[in-house]
Chain A
Amino acid sequence: SYELTQPLSVSVALGQTARITCGGNNIGSKNVHWYQQKPGQAPVLVIYRDSNRPSGIPERFSGSNSGNTATLTISRAQAGDEADYYCQVWDSSTAGGVFGTGTKVTVL
């Protein structure tokens, strides 16, 4: 089955840039979606199809996808960006959804 690997945690200084990676075999050929989840809340979509932002998501959130790695970038990080972040794709061989292992972002 298809697997997605994320770093357990990422720390970023206030106002700086955080990059969260999502590794998967030839992930560049898939559409990657990213979700933000704050404690006690449901996930919220922040990036869809690699690099598109839903309405209401700040421009500080951006995404890219190539080769075996997709990346979510948070620019000018704010305290409110502290959360768990998950990448997600659809496995074409099973038509099943696959989530990454999740990354906890801490803003220092």
Chain B
Amino acid sequence: QVTLRESGPALVKPTQTLTLTCTFSGFSLSTSGMCVSWIRQPPGKALEWLARIDWDDDKYYSTSLKTRLTISKDTSKNQVVLTMTNMDPVDTATYYCARIPGTPDDAFDIWGQGTMVTVSS
């Protein structure tokens, strides 16, 4: 059974750096074609794709946020980590990680439950 679970702080202050961890099971990120992405959703708004890391350690970022984002993986721990610098109240959102199982242009077939992050002083 494939599962993903996001973890991280529920509250961060403006200008701080957010670090989120996606811990997964049921698949290996070293398998050819496997990828994991981060997606966020501000309250009442649409989904927004943030970043993706591939099995071969290729990394891709949202063009509008790329200067603030870093994605990495620890294959031995089955974890993907996203850091976002210089947090602002507009970054308040539920953050999801999701798996892409086949080819890099495939769908997000399994999602984590999401973790809500509030940015406030």
- Residues of chain A within 8 A (CB-CB) of B39 are 97, 99
List of B residues within 8 angstroms of A37 by Cβ: 47
* B109→A48 contact, CB < 8 A: yes
Residues from chain A with a CB closer than 8 A to the CB of B24 are none
Contact call B96/A98, Cβ cutoff below 8 A: no
Determine chain B's interface SS by DSSP, over half rule: loop
| Range of interface residues on B (Cβ < 8 Å) | 20 to 34
**Does B108 sit within 8 A of A, measured CB to CB?**
yes
Binding site for B on A (CB under 8 A): 1, 30-31, 33, 35, 37, 42-45, 48-49, 54, 86, 88, 90, 92, 94-102
Chain A to chain B contacts (Cβ below 8 Å), 9 pairs: A33-B108, A35-B47, A37-B47, A42-B113, A45-B108, A49-B106, A49-B107, A86-B46, A95-B104
